[in-house]
Structure 1
Amino acid sequence: MLIDDYVADLGRALCGPPGPKRDLVVEARDSLTDAAEALQAEGLERAEAEHLAVDEFGQVAEVAPGLQRELTATAGRWLATLLFLSVPATVLMWSAIWHFSPGDPGAWATRPGWYSTVSLLLDLVQFGVGVFGGLALFALGRGSRWIGEPRLVTRSLGLLVLIALPVTGGLSLLLTLGPDVPHAAGTLAPLVLANLVTSAFWGLQVYGATRCVRLTRPV
């Protein structure tokens, strides 16, 4: 098998974030090319040198699993980093809005009794997701020496996000549009901006979580 054919097969065998995947494939091509050129310098024909370099590099079925584990860990680290940064940022952003633009203070004094409980539950869900993101980031980074297989961490992270986001969204809607809930804020612009930022974060989280679940689905 020539280098171009081998690299094409390797690219088809791998699945993961486009950038890191491309880097791994390019690195494999460079290693094969260097090996082939060294063999060619020893007197072999180019085609024969490429065949021998590919044989020494290993079959795609042998090389791909190790590279796929690396891509799976990369996808998990991306999502974990996003959660570790975006969840606290979202909480701080909304806390600032409630603090600086609370709307009618008198209306908040008569808010429904369930409001505080739902608000606390939302905080706990967001806190739990952020903490798990931080732990997963450590496990897939410095802690990877103790975790030989990143699949479980990456999959659990993706599933957690896909479960927690609907819960978070439902609780947020209840706090905003629930019965007897006063108007959220006196200024429209901060609300619009906060909703746009939150929606962008949620979209990225869904994208990353879906990719993590897809990469770690049972073969």
Structure 2
Amino acid sequence: MIDRYVTDLGSRLRGSRKQVRDLLTETRDSLTDATEAHVGSGLTEQEAQQRAVEEFGPVREIANEYQAELAVAYGTRTLIWLAIVLPLMHMAWEYGRMLLIGPWQDFGSVPPAWYLFIAKANDLTSGIASGVALVALVLGRVLARKYDTRLVAKAGAAIALTAVGAVLLGNLSIILATAHLDVARLLQSSPMTVATAITWVVIVRLGLLARRCLSCATIVA
């Protein structure tokens, strides 16, 4: 009966595998301890397991509570990644551009105002997204003590997904703008082309984390 309960509970949970495994281990240990206590009071093994399961609570109710914890934890990890990786990635790319390509003036002429506007907006996007993720991380810890963790988890997931979307849009805009202005600029340096590809891989990875974060939060009933 304990095995069936734990298996059913595990099938309803989504999140970090390690955290799910830890929660299921704690559940099994609690049910086992409760069973031993009931056996010691005179119940049979089967009766003791049934009593322990009943006392622990319905699977759906416990799964909802656990899933809320998992969603908040996954959201926290995603926001931490956003707050740290985005500014580091942007600084590394800009340093590489200055080192291998040089400032815009080195292209022979100053780019038009509209291009510089897009470039500046793209620069700001990573910083703003990182800052928003950091603020959401801090506020989330405070709000989780006062409000429903389900709501906090969904809000954190939505913020993470929006932040990644903004960074993705910023990078796509500067690439399209550069291609429109002078496609040759996209091929100025092989190392920077590789760096750009790596940047996109990181952004996609962060996007997948944010999407899974939203999935974990959304399935909380």
Residue 86 of structure 1: how far off its partner (Å): 0.9
Please, which of 165, 178, 181 is the counterpart of residue 179 of structure 1? 181
CA distance in 2, matches of 1:154, 1:208: 12
How many aligned positions are there?
Answer: 217
RMSD: 2.5
Contact 2:82-2:206 within 8 A present in 1 as well:
yes
Is 1:209 the counterpart of 2:210? The answer is yes
CA distance in 2, matches of 1:42, 1:160: 55
Any unmatched runs of 5+ in structure 2? Answer: none
Q: Which residue of 2 aligns with 1:159?
A: 161
Contact 1:101-1:185 within 8 A present in 2 as well:
no
Letter in 2 for 1:215: C
Residues 52-109 of structure 1 deviation map (CA, whole Å, 9 limit, x = unaligned): 1111111112212211110110121121011011111111111101221225853153
Letter in 2 for 1:31: S
Is 1:13 the counterpart of 2:12? The answer is yes
Any unmatched runs of 5+ in structure 1? Answer: none
* Between 62-71 and 133-142, the greater mean CA deviation after superposition: 133-142
Q: Which residue of 1 aligns with 2:140?
A: 140
Q: Compared with structure 1, are the counterparts of its residues 197 and 166 closer, same or farther at alpha carbon in structure 2 (3 Å cutoff)?
A: closer
Residues 108-131 of structure 1 deviation map (CA, whole Å, 9 limit, x = unaligned): 533233221011111222122111
CA distance in 2, matches of 1:36, 1:114: 71
CA distance in 2, matches of 1:116, 1:190: 19
TM-score (norm 2): 0.85
Residue 41 of structure 1: how far off its partner (Å): 2.9
Within 5 Å, give how 1:17-166 maps onto structure 2: 17-103=16-102, 106-107=106-107, 109-141=109-141, 143-149=143-149, 150-161=152-163, 163-166=165-168
CA distance in 2, matches of 1:34, 1:126: 50
Q: Compared with structure 1, are the counterparts of its residues 217 and 45 closer, same or farther at alpha carbon in structure 2 (3 Å cutoff)?
A: same
Letter in 2 for 1:207: L
Residue 175 of structure 1: how far off its partner (Å): 5.0
Q: Which residue of 2 aligns with 1:198?
A: 199
* Between 66-75 and 200-209, the greater mean CA deviation after superposition: 200-209
Letter in 2 for 1:203: V
CA distance in 1, matches of 2:176, 2:57: 56
